[in-house]
Copies of this chain bind each other. A is one copy, B any other.
Amino acid sequence: MFQAADWKSLFMIKKYNEDQIIQGIFSGDVNILSRAITLVESRKKEDRVSAGKIVQACLEKSGRSLRIGITGPPGAGKSTLIDALGMYALGQGKKAAVLSIDPSSSRNHGSILGDKTRMQRLFRNENAYIRPSPSSGMSGGVGPATREAVILCESCGFNFIMIETVGVGQGESAVRSLADFFLLVQIPGAGDELQGIKRGVLELADAVVINKADGDNLQRAQNARSIYKNAIMLTQTKEWGWQVPVEICSAQNEVGIDRVWRILKDYQKASESCGFLSRQRKEQSKYWFYEVINRFIQENFWSNTDVHRILSAKEKTVLSGKASPLQAAEDAISELKKL
Contacts and interface: CB of A to CB of B under 8 A. Distances in A.
A293 B332 contact: yes
A13 interface: no
A89 interface: no
Contacts of A282: 318-319, 321
B170 A167 contact: yes
Given A137-B170, A167-B169, A314-B289, A52 B197 contact: no
Interface stretch (A24-32, A98-106, A261-269): A98-106
B173 A138 contact: yes
Interface in A66-106: 73-75, 103-106
Interface residues of A, number: 68
Nearest to A177: B138
Contact of A170 (B140, B235, B285): B140
Interface stretch (A119-127, A221-229, A247-255, A295-303): A295-303
A171 to B, nearest CB: 6
Contacts of A104: 196-197, 199-200
Contacts of A332: 289, 293
B166 A141 contact: no
A325 B196 contact: no
Interface string A301-339: 100000000010011001101001111111011001000
Given A56-B327, A326-B292, A74 B167 contact: no
Given A104-B200, A196-B104, A197-B104, A297 B292 contact: no
A59 B196 contact: no
Interface string A179-213: 00000000001101101111110010000000000
Contacts of A174: 138
A22 interface: no
A132 to B, nearest CB: 12
A259 B167 CA distance: 30
A161 interface: no
Interface of A: 52, 55-56, 59, 73-75, 103-108, 111, 135, 137-141, 166-171, 173-174, 189-190, 192-193, 195-200, 203, 235, 282, 285-286, 288-290, 292-293, 296-298, 301, 311, 314-315, 318-319, 321, 324-330, 332-333, 336
Contacts of A75: 189-190, 192-193, 195-196
Contact of A103 (B55, B200, B318): B200
Nearest to A189: B75
A56 B324 contact: yes
Interface centre among A103, A192, A196 (most CB of B within 10 A): A196
A121 B324 CA distance: 36
A318 B197 contact: no
A290 B301 CA distance: 13
A200 B101 CA distance: 14
Nearest to A194: B74
Contact of A197 (B167, B170, B324): B167
B197 A59 contact: no
26 contacts: A56-B324, A56-B326, A59-B326, A74-B197, A75-B195, A103-B169, A103-B170, A103-B200, A106-B200, A106-B203, A107-B200, A108-B199, A138-B170, A140-B170, A166-B169, A166-B196, A168-B168, A170-B171, A282-B321, A285-B324, A286-B319, A288-B325, A288-B326, A289-B315, A289-B325, A296-B333
